[in-house]
Amino acid sequence: MLDDRHGDAFVAFEHVQKSYDGQTLVVKDLNLAIGKGEFLTMLGPSGSGKTTCLMMLAGFETATHGEIRLAGRPINQVPPHKRGIGMVFQNYALFPHMTVGENLSFPLEVRGMAKPDREARVKRALDMVQMGRFISRRPAQLSGGQQQRIALARALVFDPELVLMDEPLGALDKQLREHMQFEIKHLHEELGITVVYVTHDQGEALTMSDRIAVFNDGRIQQLAPPAELYERPGNSFVASFIGENNSLPGVIEEFQGDKALVRLDGGGVIDATAVNIREKGQRTTVSIRPERVEFKPEMMPPGAHTIEAKVAEVVYMGDILRARLAVAGSDNFVMKMRNTIGQTRLEPGQVIRIGWHPQDARALEPTA
Amino acid sequence: MANVALDPHAAVVSTASGGPAALTSADGTPLARALARSQRRARRRAFLLVLPLLAFILITFVVPIGQMLQRSFYNAGFSANMPQVSAWFAETERGTDPDDAAWAALAADLTAAAEARTVAMVGTRINYDLSGTRSLFTSTGRALRGGIEPPYRENLLEIDQKWGDPQLWSVMREASRPVTANFYLAAVDRARDAEGNIVQVDERQRVYTMLFGRTFWLSLVITALTFVLGFPIAHLLATLPLRKSNLLMILVLLPFWTSLLVRTTSWMVLLQQQGVVNDLLVWTGIIGASGRLQMIYNQTGTIIAMTHILLPFMILPLYSVMRTINPSYVRAARSLGASSWTAFRRVYFPQTLPGLGAGALLVFILAVGYYITPALVGGSSGQLISNMIAMHMTSTLNWSLAAALAALLLAAVLVLYWVYDRMVGIDNLKLG
Ligand SMILES: Nc1ncnc2c1ncn2[C@@H]1O[C@H](COP(=O)(O)OP(=O)(O)OP(=O)(O)O)[C@@H](O)[C@H]1O
Ligand SMILES: [Mg+2]
């Protein structure tokens, strides 16, 4: 796995800052190293600076401060067309006055490639996205998904080592989006290219990426592989942004190694893993995934602390059962149970005791 | 034809023509008829709504233009008022010397025309082709008040010797036929000689072809200039932040809002030999005090002033097209390896073509028919064909020639429109 030393990274952002108006920083001190062949996703809410980062990498925006390097070479002064970076835009940006074939041969033409070579490459790229039959169509005569494939083929046809994609699937419906996610991932593995992918769809980010950089407020909140991000969120923002999450406010009562005992504001004591909390008596927000909550004592580690919960409602969702519980003064605590044959059916009004493995509950900094 | 049953097309046709295949609506009427009936009411109402406009266009546009065009090949100013001599011309060959019958017919017609006070009209008609003859007709008309006795030839010649001029007779013969192509011939500097052959007119009188040429050439130059000047402005308008682009838009539209006279006067102040621009050039030493440039009352003046006035017609269609071009196209081109110039040439510029086509067509057509600006700042070398049309409408009163010139201009514009449609396609025109 890559570490955060930027020396041999393929793409490196070092202390990059960006301001559009000279008053507010849209990107604040960005440090990011992307390895060769990696699929890195920038994930974050709207306005968090993802596109801005991508545009700085592509060369359409200049960094206000800091350095961006590509294959070890600083590229702050290199104009976009000399960077050799493929790019897929959210609106595809297929040239409307050119046919699909002309669109694809454009990057080859401007590189001065001879016609026979161009034709062969265009054909190969189109076959790669199964669009060979559409070579003489205009973009306007294609469906959204087809345009998407053409845009992808055009970004890949000149064999760039780095491809940037800014919400490339944003305009597609769910089914097509999932299909294209698979295809993009497949192409990434097949071609061995480096991909920087921007999305605000966390499902997309989790399924496609090698690593995800979670952006908020112009900073990377956490940079980690999907599983780690999901299971071990580094702060409250990441915990609440990725996946469904229960949060319980409280105070640290005791440390045992990195295990902590937390006294909840609504009463009761629970086990947790201290993440970015180091002192006894400090306020914290404990975050627990709904599917990691247990209510059968045999599923919990021995000696685990439990708290009382009252079932408010149970929703049948097919593969899972989703129970809403009243816990420690909040009635929005969610527990998910697998819908197996032997599963205990809970009834509203029933009082149970819930608990969990200490590593599944993460004591994070308090939320405002 | 041997195997009709196996011909797939034959099979399709036979089922289609067999009744059951046709679609019908619920009550059994054919679907197409039911649809037509349901749409008829809506269509009738729509027609009634546009009827006032239709009538307006018909009365103010189609009818007058039709009449104008008719004048270009039909002029009964001579034949209607001089029926007997016209009949004599119709009976005799071209080149026949006027005999006694002809003189008698002329005398009778002139007397009748003098009575009916139409002799001046006849004179005007003949004057188109032979200048100085209007007074011949009016003065003869006055002399004939008391009637005329034979021998007509001698008596008429006594009133004015010019009646014996063979050219006058040949001109009268041409004018005796109300339907004629002669005005079109005149409009392209041609005329008929005594034998009826089409010949070029005397070199000193050839003005119209030269003026047509100049009109089209200057219009081209003006169109090109508005493009060169307007393209960057339209681009700025489309890309600047709203506040700045609004200000710029006001500047662009300013020529529309100022009175023509104010604009023209300011051009005079700027461009005349003792004007601001010349003063500036002399002051900076670019030209000597003796070499002041003549920039107004000539072609230069026409070009400068018309470019200024027509600039918005180029800028607005360009702007409306450029506004819709997403900046990501150019970015995409750049990311694909195109330099900014290549991205402009291959990706941005082609997408502005619908606006450019519309703007160029608009400017060119307006320039071809422009009249007032060349009249004010064009001097004599900056006059265009429309100034000639205006002159024939207002001072020489040769409406037929004016109509012929206008018809040629209209035809040229239509041809241009047709060529544009063939080359670019009129659906690609984007006016706003
Ligand atoms: N050209 C610009 N001029 C001024 N401010 C800008 C410009 N582009 C973006 N911003 C601002 O920078 C911030 C980050 O924008 P950015 O487009 O990078 O967000 P994003 O993470 O891509 O959001 P989204 O998910 O909505 O695309 C926003 O607050 C935005 O208003
Ligand atoms: Mg964005």
pLDDT digits (tens, 9 = 90+) for B107-154: 999 999 998 889 999 998 998 888 888 899 999 988 888 788 888 888
Q: Do B55 and B128 fall into the same domain?
A: no
What's the CA-to-centroid distance between A246 and ligand 2, angstroms?
28
Measuring from atom 4 of ligand 1, which residue has the nearest CA? A20
Q: Structure pTM?
A: 0.79
Q: Do B167 and B40 fall into the same domain?
A: no
Each residue's pLDDT expressed in tens, for chain A with a length of 368 residues = 444 444 578 999 999 999 999 899 999 999 999 999 999 999 999 999 999 999 999 999 999 999 999 999 999 999 999 999 999 998 899 999 999 999 999 999 999 999 999 999 999 999 988 899 999 999 999 998 899 999 999 999 999 999 999 999 988 888 888 989 999 999 999 999 999 999 988 899 999 999 999 999 999 999 999 999 998 998 999 998 998 899 899 999 888 877 888 999 888 888 899 888 778 888 999 999 999 998 888 888 887 888 889 999 999 998 999 999 999 888 889 999 998 888 888 889 999 999 998 889 999 988 86
Residue B427 has pLDDT above 80, yes or no: no
CATH class of A246-364: mainly beta
Out of B328, B332, B336, name the one closest to residue A110 (CB).
B336
Pairing of strands A283-288, A351-354: unpaired
B413 domain-assigned = yes
The per-residue pLDDT for B420 is: 84
A-chain CB neighbours of B339 within 8 Å are 79, 81, 110
Q: Do B266 and B328 fall into the same domain?
A: yes
The per-residue pLDDT for B21 is: 56
Model confidence pLDDT, tens digit, residues B256-269: 788 888 888 888 88
Residue B213 has pLDDT above 90, yes or no: yes
Cβ of A70 below 6 Å from ligand 1: no
The per-residue pLDDT for A1 is: 41
Residue B85 has pLDDT above 60, yes or no: yes
What's the whole-number average pLDDT of chain B? 87
What percentage of chain B reaches a pLDDT higher than 90? 45
The per-residue pLDDT for B10 is: 41
Query: Domain A11-236 falls in which CATH fold?
Result: Rossmann fold (3.40.50)
B428 band by pLDDT with thresholds 50, 70 and 90: low
What's the CA-to-centroid distance between A48 and ligand 1, angstroms?
7
For residues B174-197, give the mean pLDDT: 87
Out of B329, B337, B339, name the one closest to residue A95 (CB).
B329
The per-residue pLDDT for A276 is: 84
Q: Do B266 and B397 fall into the same domain?
A: yes
The region, left, alpha or beta by phi > 0 then psi within -120 to 50, assigned to residue A140 is: alpha
Measuring from atom 9 of ligand 1, which residue has the nearest CA? A52
Cβ of A233 below 6 Å from ligand 1: no
Cβ of A49 below 6 Å from ligand 1: yes
What percentage of chain A reaches a pLDDT higher than 90? 65
Mutate to test the interface with A, among B321, B322, B336, B430 (most CBs of A within 10 A): B336
The per-residue pLDDT for A34 is: 95
The per-residue pLDDT for B287 is: 86
B2 band by pLDDT with thresholds 50, 70 and 90: very low
Q: What are the start and end residues of each CATH 2.40.50.140 domain in chain A?
A: 246-364
Q: What are the start and end residues of each CATH 3.40.50.300 domain in chain A?
A: 11-236
Out of B329, B338, B350, name the one closest to residue A81 (CB).
B338
In chain B, which residue's Cα lies nearest the Cα of A82? B337
In chain B, which residue's Cα lies nearest the Cα of A104? B336
Ligand nearest to the CA of A215: 1
Out of B326, B336, B340, name the one closest to residue A106 (CB).
B336
For residues B327-348, give the mean pLDDT: 94
Interface residue B424 vs chain A (CB under 8 A): no
B328/A96 touch (CB, cutoff 8 Å), yes or no: no
What's the CA-to-centroid distance between A225 and ligand 1, angstroms?
25
Residue A49 Cα: closest atom of ligand 1: 18
Q: Do B39 and B100 fall into the same domain?
A: no
The per-residue pLDDT for B19 is: 45
User: Total domain count for chain B?
Assistant: 3
Q: Do B271 and B405 fall into the same domain?
A: yes
The per-residue pLDDT for A324 is: 93
Residue B18 has pLDDT above 80, yes or no: no
Model confidence pLDDT, tens digit, residues A13-64: 999 999 999 899 999 999 999 999 999 999 999 999 999 999 999 999 999 9
For residues B188-215, give the mean pLDDT: 87
Out of A59, A85, A97, name the one closest to residue B351 (CB).
A97
Cβ of A216 below 6 Å from ligand 1: no
ipTM value > 0.95:
no
What's the CA-to-centroid distance between A69 and ligand 2, angstroms?
22
Q: Do B212 and B353 fall into the same domain?
A: yes
A-chain CB neighbours of B332 within 8 Å are 87, 89, 93-95
Q: Do B104 and B241 fall into the same domain?
A: no
Q: Do B175 and B288 fall into the same domain?
A: no
B334/A60 touch (CB, cutoff 8 Å), yes or no: yes
Q: Do B248 and B270 fall into the same domain?
A: yes
Cβ of A60 below 6 Å from ligand 1: no
Q: Do B275 and B407 fall into the same domain?
A: yes
What's the CA-to-centroid distance between A82 and ligand 2, angstroms?
23
Ligand 2 is an ion; its neighbours by CB within 5 Å are: A 51
B196 domain-assigned = no
More confident residue, B239 or B432: B239
Q: Which domain holds residue B135?
A: 83-180
What's the CA-to-centroid distance between A8 and ligand 2, angstroms?
28
B187 domain-assigned = no
Chain A residues contacting B via beta carbons under 8 Å: 58-60, 79-81, 83-87, 89, 91, 93-97, 106-107, 110-111, 154-155, 158, 164
More confident residue, B431 or B172: B172
B334/A158 touch (CB, cutoff 8 Å), yes or no: no
The per-residue pLDDT for A5 is: 45
Cβ of A52 below 6 Å from ligand 1: yes
At A361 the three-state DSSP class reads: strand
Residue B7 has pLDDT above 60, yes or no: no
The per-residue pLDDT for B262 is: 87
The per-residue pLDDT for A367 is: 81
CA Rg value for chain A: 25
CA dihedral sign, ordered A225, A231, A234, A237: positive
Mutate to test the interface with B, among A20, A60, A162 (most CBs of B within 10 A): A60
The per-residue pLDDT for A368 is: 67
Out of A79, A93, A164, name the one closest to residue B326 (CB).
A93
What's the CA-to-centroid distance between B62 and ligand 1, angstroms?
56
B-chain CB neighbours of A59 within 8 Å are 334-335
Stretch among A288-297, B167-176, B215-224, B259-268 having the lowest mean pLDDT: B259-268
Residue A42 Cα: closest atom of ligand 1: 21
A-chain CB neighbours of B336 within 8 Å are 81, 86-87, 106-107, 110, 154-155, 158
Q: Do B275 and B386 fall into the same domain?
A: yes
